[in-house]
Structure 1
Amino acid sequence: MNITLQSAKMIGAGLATIGLTGVGAGIGIVFGSLVLAFARNPALKQQLFGYTILGFALTEAIALFALMMAFLILFT
């Protein structure tokens, strides 16, 4: 394999994983908001937790998409 192509793949995969920093911040925001909302109104615990899990799943889907792109760049 050409060294230029290999280095371009490495750079592209690294750039594809930049989205993971936003995901880390997003997950922190989701669970931080859960703590704040629960502190304000503990009676809504079950409903708040359901919304939190939904937010976590949607945020994590972005992370999986970014990793999938990085692996596709590296191994194709």
Structure 2
Amino acid sequence: MDEKQLHALATELAKNLKTPEDLSQLSRFLKKLTVETAHYAELAAHLGHEKHQPKSGSNRFCRIKRSSGKLPCF
């Protein structure tokens, strides 16, 4: 996103701000959204797949079928 697009978006968001509390609420929401997005991206990179997507064949947590039943592997 370039600076022109960001400026247009900020201008559009500012139209609805009436009080300092509105600005504070918007700021908190944007911060929360940014942190959550970064967290999910980092988690997807760590796990090797996106949230709710099929896992790859090489996952660390699996089940091994044994004669005595299934055992978790860690």
TM-score range, shorter chain: 0.3 to 0.5
Kindly indicate whether structure 1 or structure 2 has the higher relative contact order, using CA contacts under 8 Å at least 6 residues apart: 1
Radius of gyration: which is bigger?
2
Higher normalized strand content (fraction of residues): 2
Higher normalized helix content (fraction of residues): 1
